[in-house]
Amino acid sequence: MNTHALARGNQDGDRPDVAGFFDPRTFSIQYVVSDPATRHCAIIDPVLDYDEKSGATATFQADELLAYIEREGLEVEWILDTHPHADHFSAARYLHEKTGAPTAIGRPVTQVQALWKAIYNWPDLKDDGSQWDRLFDEGDTFKLGEIDCHVMHSPGHTLASITYVIGDAAFVHDTLFQPDFGTARADFPGGDAHQLWHSIQAILALPDETRLFTGHDYMPDGREPQWESTVREQREHNKHRLGESSEAEYVELRNRRDSELPMPKLILHALQVNILGGRLPEPENNGKRYLKLPLNALEGAAWE
């Protein structure tokens, strides 16, 4: 199985190198995005390994990113989350401790924290986003080495979903998948298919040759994992007919499809870690850490 690929950029200041790392356990893609001129890089959506059967955590995926960064002689400038994930733990905190690089996410994460604070009955949770070093607003800009970057708020899949546009590359998280698979679900707490439609349209308004990098791939028909497309390819070939359907048609399709989907198996495990920026729960008086799983908290989910 192809679990790693490097999409080369250039040294003209507008096309980063993008190394994708596919995690077969969670179908997630993690990225190391680097400026070829300065060798500065950002890590996007890193995975902290978790086995729900044993309760064990590990850093296999994150350590693979660190090994690649060391081999390539890169310097980590940012650790970026696109949103609090429902299907894997974030390794952002672990990588911050290893590299010292600042962590960042979109400011609407505070809305997600408030929402899940109620679901978990967690009155002591700080829901101000202070678990990250920087909270990005719509339209904010930053630098990766010499490459210009900007932030797009892309709600719909979650309240806090954002897209990072780094030179000619856009990291579209779970809003779009590969054209042969379609688009993200919008039935998580705080999700909305209408918002998702408008977020997708904003992404498709980027220049046609903008490279789009997705957060997951589910390998339809048993093909190898893929995670790169372009705006033009998504508009013309996405199976959800993004270039020709209306908002109403898309919302009907999305809602119908979502009603048939079970919740991700790790959603209740992962959110209590990911709304803390990848921090595991504090140890209790016996030195052990514990997750808290509310029962019957996500109504209407399909059963497997």
| pLDDT tens per residue, range 159-190 | 999 999 999 999 999 999 999 999 999 999 99
Q: What is the mean pLDDT of residues 42-62?
A: 97
Query: Smallest Cα–Cα separation from 127: which of 159, 167, 91, 166?
Result: 159
State the pLDDT confidence band at 10, using cuts at 50, 70 and 90: confident
Give me the pLDDT at residue 302, please: 79
Given this model, what pLDDT does residue 34 score?
Answer: 98
Tally: H helices and E strands in the chain = 7, 16
- What is the phi/psi pair of residue 140, to 5°? -60, 150
Side-chain-side CA neighbours of 25 within 13 Å: the count stands at: 15
What distance in Å separates the CA atoms of residue 270 and residue 57, rounded to the nearest whole number? 12
234 three-state secondary structure: helix
pLDDT tens profile 117-155:
999 999 999 999 999 999 999 999 999 999 999 999 999
For the cut 80, the answer to whether the pLDDT of residue 11 exceeds it is: no
Domains defined for the chain, CATH in brackets: 4-274 (3.60.15.10)
pTM of this prediction?
0.96
Helix (H) / strand (E) element for 143: namely strand 141-144
pLDDT at residue 304 is higher than 90: no
Q: How confident is the model at residue 13 (pLDDT cuts 50, 70, 90)?
A: confident
Q: What tokens appear for 269 in the block?
A: 């495990």
Q: Between vectors from CA 197 to CA 270 and to CA 163, what angle results, nearest 5°?
A: 55
- Spatial neighbors of 271 by CB under 8 A, at least 6 apart, are 84, 86, 116, 119, 120
pLDDT recorded at residue 44: 98
- 159-177 in b/e form (b: 16+ CB < 10 A) is bbbbbbbbbbbbbbbbbbb
